[in-house]
Structure 1
């Protein structure tokens, strides 16, 4: 019954009962009756959800102005109240009960007057929120230290402060059938990739869900139906990273309640870039080292196992004797690596879930378990411990959590290929991986651009950070498939 459209009647008590019914007689619904004008001829009521409104604001902007009313023309009564008496920057006349309910649960106050088939919605929300702080998951050595919060208004305020331009466009939408969540699409009108923007709008508008609790629901809709372990939407907590992406012609999507932004189109090279690259004098060393560490992070364990199983003759007899043939550990090399990876995976996942007070204890137990007991108990060869340690340290160069999970999955895949098929298996796996990445698209843009398809002019910020003045003054372009262009 609540899904049917219903409208206000002239009977104030009937209106209040309908609103109560739509809110399932919530005990948090507050009703404040009021009589006003000189003869106390008109009576009304204020309805709001207690706990999410500013009661002082209600008193100053609604109650006091109504009590000071002397006389109003009956023909324009409600319009006069909204335009001349209620003191608020956000005032709207409404006639639909169902749409009014959505506004009440967002912290707004409804003003209804007996004898009129409409109401007035006044913004009186007061949401509790944490202050703007430094990001604990994505650090910036130089540059701004602030990060996004859970409040959409605060995040958009940060962007407005960093981009003082009339070309900054913000399109707000409400997603969800049961619980409507505010979603904002942000872009620069004179720089945005129009094809990507059209695709983002389409995918968000066609999303049909009952509710949205966090941005992952929106991300999956934007990523589309492609089957891959690679993230096709880039998530960041840093306002300067979003600002840079907007100037590059990309789009940022914010979801109320999530302290991060989703950037699209998302390119693979974006994970090799870090905001600190643009605040330091180093141009190539950091970027090239990140690319190198990306491959080391998932290839090194597989290469190690393939060498121990199939290619010991690549080394001198002294090295073979010391590290391979005279190993006194109980487990075979391939099983050692799997055990170490499993232990480190447990530690990594638990560190995200446990309280901060437990981190020191877990770190101590992990050190004893892996660093001391495993080696002294002859379960794991010291070289295996070093190999996995290097792989995990290399993984830390990729600051994005989503890509870190991808690297972890690739590590297991190439460990299997190296252990079963040797170097040949790893080579074939790399070839298939590249083909897979070439086929990926982020809202129609090739994932490996500008490497594949090759676009030399866009290499100014791929393997090295180019001159900042050239980066700022040269617009970015994104390739699209011909079939995508023709369909649009």
Structure 2
């Protein structure tokens, strides 16, 4: 008898099935054991006198469930059922869902996995005695960070709102801008432990179906214990994982995501982070800002050309200085050559060492300014740069022209709207300086050729990274290095949106009528 009792106890403690039991006591015991008897798991039992003392249990997590909603659920259950005549309720489960619960989302669950997911998401679960299913009611807490201005992207002209850490708030911000039934959302849950919600958003009829399916397939293949930020997803699904160039675009501005969706791209939203990813991506995407489309097209075109010029200076200026001062002094005017030679007369290092020291010192100061508290970070970075630069020149460690080049290079690296591309340029400067110190201008040209060949070989979800330059697409040049007037941007990028390529009809002003 004792052996039989022990076996029964063992079977009760280790259920062989994931389905809910018909016994309320067994269900409560299993849930407590699975959740480790955590003190934030609130379990409330109600005895219904009108129904032969049947019991109901409510389970929720304190802190992520709305207490007001839970209180309303309890009042409705106790008052409505007690006011019913005896023996009138045939199906208690059906009666509770239809008569007692005033919340919007109500559904049944049949297994413990779905029950745990609902409870840990902030929902309240109602378990009935004698039934092998439970009722899930929506009671997620409404606590959320307010929609504020973007922190990483400055807004000159345009909407001053940014995404938050709540997934549903972010999808709502996008739906406010795109009020179309074709804006579809596909949901995935990634992370065996964190169970992070990921939403794939696209416009049906504009986005390429093959790219959408490819995104979903790559997400389904992710096997990881936790996802805490979009960087986890980005590392798994991007092409060319060993490339320094960013293969996925990210932003915290809803207007940018809305514009990307209208071009046929796909957005990935991850619960718990204000950054949203978009795919596929091209190199030109990282040199375009949302304000380009909000102001005069001539001004926007000049600013874009300035960005392309800035990326050239940020990438090549230190290496050109090293190559010319070391191997090709004849390229400089005589007056400039004498001035640079006189400044470097007391410098004990060759040009490449001088450049590397200054670049590394500036990167250290910039990184320190980012990691320090906001109240002292800018002051330390600015004062440190001025003091160290001036002291280095006076001590004869570096030349004044080198300080100018490093400062101008750093300023040019801040011209890019995308911080990811800025990091890539910062890293590529160093191998180009080494090439310049060894081979001169030939080494610089060799490094540029390697970079260009690498860029032309990249693809993002099947779309060439350098389009519309490689392959050359004439129609898409209207929104590449320069920006044509909005009324001339009649088509979407050809290689991204292949289903519905027309975005606007040709617009003409009746000048004859206006003159009259």
Task: Give the alignment's TM-score, normalised by structure 2.
Answer: 0.89
Question: Does 1:387 find its partner at 2:402?
Answer: no
Deviation at 1:87, TM superposition (A): 1.3
The answer for the alignment partner of 1:298 in structure 2 is 315
The answer for the alignment partner of 1:104 in structure 2 is 119
Q: Measure, in 1, the Cα distance between the counterparts of 2:53 and 2:488.
A: 70
Q: 1:22 to 1:361 in 2, by over 3 A?
A: same
Q: Where does 1:378-457 land on structure 2 (aligned, <5 Å)?
A: 378-457=396-475
The answer for the alignment partner of 2:38 in structure 1 is 26
Question: Does 1:176 find its partner at 2:191?
Answer: yes
RMSD: 1.9
Deviation at 1:431, TM superposition (A): 1.1
Structure 2: unaligned runs, 5 residues or longer: 1-12, 498-516
Question: Does 1:311 find its partner at 2:345?
Answer: no
Q: Measure, in 2, the Cα distance between the counterparts of 1:165 and 1:48.
A: 35
Q: Measure, in 2, the Cα distance between the counterparts of 1:374 and 1:390.
A: 17
Partner-residue secondary structure (3-state), 1:68? helix
The answer for the alignment partner of 1:54 in structure 2 is 66
Task: Give the alignment's TM-score, normalised by structure 1.
Answer: 0.94
Q: 1:190 to 1:396 in 2, by over 3 A?
A: same
Q: 1:37 to 1:466 in 2, by over 3 A?
A: farther
List per-residue Cα deviations over 1:74-114 (Å, max 9, x = no partner): 65321221133211101111110122111101101111111
The answer for the alignment partner of 1:257 in structure 2 is 272
Deviation at 1:287, TM superposition (A): 0.9
The answer for the alignment partner of 2:50 in structure 1 is 38
List per-residue Cα deviations over 1:310-347 (Å, max 9, x = no partner): 01111233322221256222332211211111111112
Q: Measure, in 2, the Cα distance between the counterparts of 1:144 and 1:470.
A: 24
The answer to whether the Cα contact below 8 Å between 2:234 and 2:248 also exists between their aligned partners in 1 is yes
Deviation at 1:269, TM superposition (A): 0.4
List per-residue Cα deviations over 1:351-377 (Å, max 9, x = no partner): 222211222441354134333211111
Question: Does 1:145 find its partner at 2:160?
Answer: yes
1:116 to 122, 131, 154: 131
Q: Measure, in 2, the Cα distance between the counterparts of 1:376 and 1:2.
A: 76
1:476 to 493, 506, 514: 493
Partner-residue secondary structure (3-state), 2:107? strand
Partner-residue secondary structure (3-state), 1:428? helix
Q: 1:439 to 1:39 in 2, by over 3 A?
A: closer
The answer for the alignment partner of 1:285 in structure 2 is 302
Deviation at 1:3, TM superposition (A): 11
List per-residue Cα deviations over 1:385-429 (Å, max 9, x = no partner): 111111111111112111111011111121111111110111111
Structure 1: unaligned runs, 5 residues or longer: 481-488
Q: Measure, in 1, the Cα distance between the counterparts of 2:14 and 2:152.
A: 42
Q: Measure, in 2, the Cα distance between the counterparts of 1:341 and 1:5.
A: 62
Q: Where does 1:234-273 land on structure 2 (aligned, <5 Å)?
A: 234-273=249-288
Return 169-178 or 359-368, whichever deviates more: 359-368
1:214 to 229, 237, 259: 229
Partner-residue secondary structure (3-state), 1:357? coil
Q: If you compute each CA radius of gyration, which structure gives the higher value, 1 or 2?
A: 2
Deviation at 1:127, TM superposition (A): 5.0
The answer for the alignment partner of 1:461 in structure 2 is 479
